Structures are given as C-alpha cells and as structure tokens.
Amino acid sequence: VIGVGVMALPQLPVKGGWFMSILSMLACYLAITESGIAMWKGVMAGNHADAKDLATKAIVSYEDFGKAAFGKTGEALVLLMMMLYFLGVVASFGVLISEELENLFGHISKKEWLLAFAPVMILMSQLPNVTAVAKMTPVAVLCILILVSVIISKSCLDAQRWQEWPDPGTLHTDWPQDPMAMGTVVASMFGAFGVNGNVPSILCEMKDPMEFPFAYKTAMTIVLLVYLAVMCCGYYGYGDFMQPDIVKSLSSFPATEEQALDVKFDNWTGPKALVLRGVCATLLLIKLIIGLPLNMMVIYYSLQTYEGTKDYFPAESVANKIMRVVVVVIAVVIGLVVTQFNKLFSLVASVCGPILQCFLPIFLSYKIRKKHGARMSSWVRRFAHALIVLLGLYCLTMGFYESVQDITEKA
C-alpha cells in the first residue's frame, strides 16, 4: 500500500489544518478498509458459485469482478477506470521523477527534465514483459521505507529550530480556512490508501482466503500508523512554510520566521543538508524507476487482453508498439500541463479513487452476492456503506473541483 502517495501527505495539513486532516485520514482508512472487506465477500461469493457450477473461470482480477456482476458492461467499466487511473499514475511518476532529477542535478527546469526523460519512458514501454523488473520490487519497497524514516526523523529534528523563534504558534493551522479546501485533502487520502484493485488477485494466491479480513485489516492499520506519523511529523517540522516537494524542505531551512513565511525558498539562508537532498532524491528515483514500467504494463496488458481491443493490439505487433508509445506521450503531455506532483496526484485520485476504492467494490459485491443468494450485509453495515458513498461523492465533486482550481490558478 505504501507508495509514492506518501510524498503528498505532509503538505495536506497546510490546506486542511491539523484536526480535519487527521480526521479525514481516519475516515478514508475506515471507508477503504470496509470497501475492501465488501469486495472480499463478493469475490468469495462469486468464486464459491463458480466452484459449484463447475465454471472454468473464477474471479482472479478486478475486471473479472466487474464481469461477474454486470457481464461485459461491468468488465468494460472496471477496465476503463483502471486504465484512466494508471495513466494518471504514470504521468504522476513522470512528474515526480523530473522533480527529483532537478533536485539531484539542477541546471534545467522540471519540464525540461521530463522531456529529457521521455525517451527513457518510451524505451521502458517497449519491454515485452516486466518479470525481471518485478523481482526488484523489494528494493523499491526498501527505498520508500527508508525515505519514510528520513521524513519522520528529520522533520522532528528540524522542529527544534523553529521552536526558538519568537512566535512559532503562527506556523501551523488547526482548522481549514475554507471547508471546500478539504476536497483535495480527502482525494489525496483516497490515492494514498488505494489498494482494493489488488484484492481479487491476492485472494487467489492465499491458501486460506478466509484469513484475508484479519490480514487486510492488520496491513491497513499498520499503513494508517505510518501515514499518520509521516503527515503529522512532516507538518510539525515545517508547518505552513513547507515546500510542495518535501525533499526540498528536508534539505533547506529558513533562518528566521519572517524568511520562512515571506521569502522565496531559493533565497533562504538557514542550515542546508544538500547531501541529504541527494540521498532522498536517489531513493525516490529508484522507487519510481522500478515502479514506472510495472504501472505502464497494467495499461498495455489490459489493451492486449480485453476482448474488445486485443485484436487491434496483439502482442509484439507494430500496432502494439505504437499504442505503447502513444500512452507514454499522453502521460508526458499531462505532466507538462500539471508540473506539481501533489496537484496531479490529487486530481487523479479525486476521480478514480472513490470509484475504484469504494463505489465499485461495494456495488459490485452487492450485485454478485444478491445474484448467487449469498448472505447480504446488515442494515447497520448498509448505513455505513451509505456514509462511505457520501464521502466518496464529496471527494469526486469537491476534490475534483478543488484540484482543477489549484491547477488553473497556478497556470
């Protein structure tokens, strides 16, 4: 679960304040965890019915989950949302890679770094499979865990610096100045916790799927604690003068309170840790470069295997290679339009997060269980699901509106 979304967490209280940001994280944790459990119930009901009917296909993917509920229409809907989501993820990875290349080498702007890295993305897109890359996933996980540890520890150490200033109480916000500002906060939470698309495939690999709820809840709770630590420590250390790229805040500190709030980052004269900036940027780059082709392959594999498109893009064909290049070009163009990772991440998560993490798991599970006569949720649980839907609708509407507004204001 812990991925690059963790990089967006420390800055969320800048818009949402301490209390509402923590409350939003708890609400999204509960909503996505409950939706994942609902998805598990639907997968178990569908696979159990398949076993009784001696069906040749079981639910082994999110697309199968949609197909089991609404046939080809459900499969197409899930596929479309997954492709939109991963296209946004690939674009977000590209933007974050350009940010870290700028941190490491400087000299040119983020847009220019993204354009310079685009040929590498095109080469990655032509990999026939990502088996070798997938074996390096533990390295990527280790890098992100080290980075999380650095954010937590360095933020707490840097907090001692501003405590010596005359009026440090003005550096943090308890409540959001505008309730509408919580839209992007909730959207980023949905993106950070988003893991439910993997539930069907994980269930197929478990020896005893009945142990899934305990394992899933335990994993999500651990992630919640890590995310709370990253968000709270990061914001505590740098407050409202935090930079959009947390790596910059970790490596440079303002000399005074006036400098923190009124002077541009490049003109700060406080202590600097440029070696740490290089280490953090390198760790994040390793994670991103390993994860980028894996996320690309989700899009390519979907188009290669989906019944409606597989004949147009058969593996190894010229059309397939062109399709892969076009996907990269679209992702790069998106990154050139939205050059800040936090804003692009919240935009993608505001649309795809509620649909993939809550709406589809709950509604498709209900349809599958009803179809096969499985046990349905209690009225108390249905009420909880209604609250989850309301939270998702808030994210889908206000999160999208605020994300677009942030992007257009920057432009």
Give dist(CA 45, CA 34) in Å, integer: 17
Q: Cβ neighbours of residue 258 under 8 Å, at least 6 residues apart?
A: none
- Contact in structure between 111 and 339 (CB atoms under 8 Å): yes
Per-residue pLDDT at 60 = 87
Angle between helical axes of 62-105 and 318-337 (0-180°, round to 10): 60
Q: What does the alpha-carbon distance between residue 245 and residue 261 come to, in Å, rounded to a whole number?
A: 16
- In contact, 264 and 244? CB cutoff 8 Å: no
Largest distance between two CA atoms of the chain: 74
Q: How far apart are CA 221 and CA 231, in angstroms?
A: 15
For 370-385, the pLDDT digits (tens) are 988 888 889 999 999 9
Match 């994280």 to its residue by tokens.
Answer: 25
Is residue 97 very low, low, confident or very high in pLDDT (cuts 50, 70, 90)?
very high
Q: What structural domains does the chain harbor?
A: 4-410 (1.20.1740)
Q: How many CB atoms lie within 10 A of CB 285?
A: 18
CA-to-CA distance for 193 and 294, rounded, in angstroms? 19
| Span 1-54, pLDDT tens digits | 677 788 889 999 998 999 999 999 999 999 999 999 999 999 999 887 655 554
pTM for the whole structure: 0.89
Per-residue pLDDT of 142-190, as tens digits, reads 999 999 999 999 999 999 988 888 776 678 888 987 777 899 999 999 9
Q: Which of 348, 268, 297, 356 is nearest to 95 (CA)?
A: 348
